[in-house]
Structure 1
Amino acid sequence: MKPLIVICSHDAEFYLILSHVLAVDGFTSALASNVDEILHMTTETPVHALVLDCRPDNDMVQSCSRLTQDARTPPWSL
């Protein structure tokens, strides 16, 4: 099974480009639109890494601290 990378973004183009690059390098990817979806995914399947789209117009920067404090998120994935 290929390693799973969760990409959290509201930008479809960003996700499509990044997921294509990851697929070429042997990874599989999944899209999450918020932290709750990320945490749900981490309970169902092993997640090898998280990519957060931290643009000034979204709340991913604030969400990062929530992810680091949650036991379901491996500390090495951030």
Structure 2
Amino acid sequence: MFHHTRDAIEAHLTIVFTALAVSREVQARSGLAIRNVIRQLRPLRSATIAINGTEQTFTPEIPDAEQAILDALERS
């Protein structure tokens, strides 16, 4: 950690602990390790293309296994 002021250190720790809390919640909801969730969901990307003032968005085809992870993350 290369922060020198108290505010910067506290901000950094807040971000780190928030990331930890989010990753724990993802693991709890999906039942998978965070590394596994990231590996499976990383390839899912959408694309937006603008041609002659018209935008077209292309969503990814989501396989069943990845959709199950996304569904688990959506529940409250």
TM-score range, shorter chain: under 0.3
Judging by fraction of residues, say which structure has more helix.
Answer: 2
Scaled by the length of structure 2, what TM-score is found?
Answer: 0.20
Scaled by the length of structure 1, what TM-score is found?
Answer: 0.20
Which has more radius of gyration? 2
